[in-house]
Amino acid sequence: MAKKDYYEVLGINRDASDEEIKKAYRKLAMKHHPDRNPDNPKAEEHFKEAKEAYETLSDGQKRAAYDQYGHAAFEAGGMGGGAGGAGAQGFDFSDIFGDIFGGGRGGGGRSNVHRGADLRYNMEITLEQAARGTETQIRVPTMAECETCHGSGAKPGTSPTTCTTCGGHGQVRMQQGFFSIQQTCQRCHGSGKMITSPCKDCGGNGRIKQHKTLSVKIPAGVDNDDRIRLSGEGEHGVNGGPPGDLYVVIHTKPHAVFQRDHNDLHCEMPISFSTAALGGEIEIPTLDGAARIKIPAETQSGKQFRLRGKGIKGVRSASYGDLHCHVIVETPVNLTERQKELLREFEAINATDSGHHNPRAKSWMDKVKDFFGQ
C-alpha cells in the first residue's frame, strides 16, 4: 500500500515553515494519541503517520531529500526510515513541548556550571577628573570561591554525593496523562548532587561574600553614564564557571562654575552695568586657567561668547569642544547716596528719548499696545 504524502498527512503546504510543521504535528498528536482514543484502533495508525511525517519534515536534510525523491529517498537504507522510531505507546512529548515546559529529549541533567554575575559600581568624579582622566582605587563587594571547601560546598574531608531523587541527572521526568515532562529536581535544584555535610564557612554555597580592591583607570573625556568594563572582575563563577565582569558607571559631580553639554562647557559671568553699556575686557575661567574676552559696548544681558577649543575632548572625539560664556548684567546693590543721585540723573536724561536708548523696552511696549488694540 502506497504511503501518503507527508505534507498531506500533516495538512500543510510544501513551503510550510518549521513552526507550522511543529504546530500541525502537535495538533494531530494530541488528537490521535492512543491514550486518548483507547476504543479507536485507527487512532494509533494515524498517530504513527503523523509522527513519521513530522520526523522527516522537521529534519532539514531529510526534508530536502524527501522533496526531491519522495519516499524513495528512505527506501533500501537510503537515509534511515521515518517510521523506524519509537512506537506510539512509548512516545516522548518532550521534543514537541520542550520549549514550553523546559524539558528536552534524551535525558541528562542541566549543567550546573554557571558564569558569575556581572557587577555594577557607581563612581563619582569631578569635572576636572572627567576632562583630564585619572586613576583611582575602588573597594567592591563580591562573591568569591570559598577557600575552605574550594567551591564544592562540602565540609573538608567529604564530598557531594549523587542526588538520590534524580540519580545525578538534575532533572526528573513526570508522567501526566499522555504527557512526559522533564522538570528540575527539587531536591538538588538541578545540580545532580547532594551535600550531606555542608562547609561551615559558606554553608554549602561554595562561595563567600568578601571585598576586593581594584585599580580603575578613568580615560580623559568620559561623560555621565559612560561605563568602564573590568573583564573578569565580577562575581566568581559557580562550579568552575567563568567570573562575570565589573562595570564602573561614571557620574560627574556638579561643578561650581561650569555645566557640561557633551564636549562643550557653559558658564555664566556677571558683568557690571557700566561694562555692559560702555564695553570693556573681562577675565573668565577655563579648565586650563584664565582667559580674557572683550565685551563690546551696549552688550545685553544673556549675550553668549564662545571660546573655541576650551571645552572637553571626549573619549570618542577628535577635537575639543567649546566654552560658552553667558554674560549676565548685574544690578548694583548697597548704593551710596551719591550713586543713587547719579542714577536718578541718568534716568531723567534717559527718559527724554527712551526709545533711542532702550530699543528692547520700546519694542516690547509696542507689542503690548498691539495686543490690547491701542
147 and 176 part of one domain: yes
The last residue of a domain, from among 218, 252, 286:
252
195 and 140 part of one domain: yes
pLDDT of residue 358: 64
45 and 162 part of one domain: no
Asked whether residue 113 is assigned to any structural domain, the reply reads no
**Please, is 157 exposed, middle or buried when counting C-beta atoms within 10 Å of its C-beta (0-12, 13-18, 19+)?**
exposed
Per-residue DSSP letters for 235-282? Answer: SPPBTTPPP--EEEEEEEPPPSS-EEETTEEEEEEEEEHHHHHH-EEE
236 and 285 part of one domain: no
pLDDT of residue 333: 86
Asked whether residue 265 is assigned to any structural domain, the reply reads yes
pLDDT of residue 124: 93
The last residue of a domain, from among 252, 286, 321:
252
301 and 237 part of one domain: no
**Please, is 44 exposed, middle or buried when counting C-beta atoms within 10 Å of its C-beta (0-12, 13-18, 19+)?**
middle
As a 3-state breakdown, the chain gives helix, strand, coil percent values, each rounded to 5, of 30, 25, 45
238 and 183 part of one domain: yes
CATH number reported for the structural domain that contains residue 142 in this entry:
2.10.230.10
77 and 47 part of one domain: yes
269 and 354 part of one domain: yes
Asked whether residue 203 is assigned to any structural domain, the reply reads yes
Predicted confidence pLDDT, tens digits, the chain (374 residues): 567 889 899 999 988 888 889 889 988 888 888 778 878 878 888 888 889 889 889 888 888 888 877 777 776 444 444 444 433 333 444 444 444 344 444 344 445 567 888 889 899 999 999 999 999 999 888 777 788 887 778 888 888 888 888 877 777 777 655 556 777 787 777 777 888 888 888 887 777 888 888 999 999 999 988 999 998 888 877 666 788 899 999 999 999 999 999 999 999 999 988 888 889 999 999 998 889 999 999 888 889 999 999 999 998 888 999 999 999 998 888 989 998 898 888 888 777 665 566 666 656 556 666 656 65
236 and 333 part of one domain: no
Asked whether residue 157 is assigned to any structural domain, the reply reads yes
Asked whether residue 334 is assigned to any structural domain, the reply reads yes
pLDDT of residue 270: 92
What is the identity of the amino acid at 292?
R
44 and 61 part of one domain: yes
pLDDT of residue 133: 92
Asked whether residue 219 is assigned to any structural domain, the reply reads yes
CATH number reported for the structural domain that contains residue 334 in this entry:
2.60.260.20
Phi-psi region of 309 (alpha: psi -120 to 50; beta: other; left: phi over 0): left
pLDDT of residue 41: 79
Asked whether residue 98 is assigned to any structural domain, the reply reads no
Q: How many CB atoms lie within 10 A of CB 238?
A: 20
Q: What is the pTM of this model?
A: 0.54
Helix ranges restricted to H, the chain: 6-10, 18-32, 41-57, 60-69, 94-101, 127-132, 273-278, 337-351, 354-357, 359-372
Query: Domain span at residue 153?
Result: 119-252
The last residue of a domain, from among 252, 275, 294:
252
Q: How many domains does the chain have?
A: 3
Asked whether residue 348 is assigned to any structural domain, the reply reads yes
pLDDT of residue 38: 78
Interhelix angle for 94-101 vs 18-32, to 10°? 110
235 and 132 part of one domain: yes
238 and 282 part of one domain: no
pLDDT of residue 209: 82
CATH number reported for the structural domain that contains residue 79 in this entry:
1.10.287.110
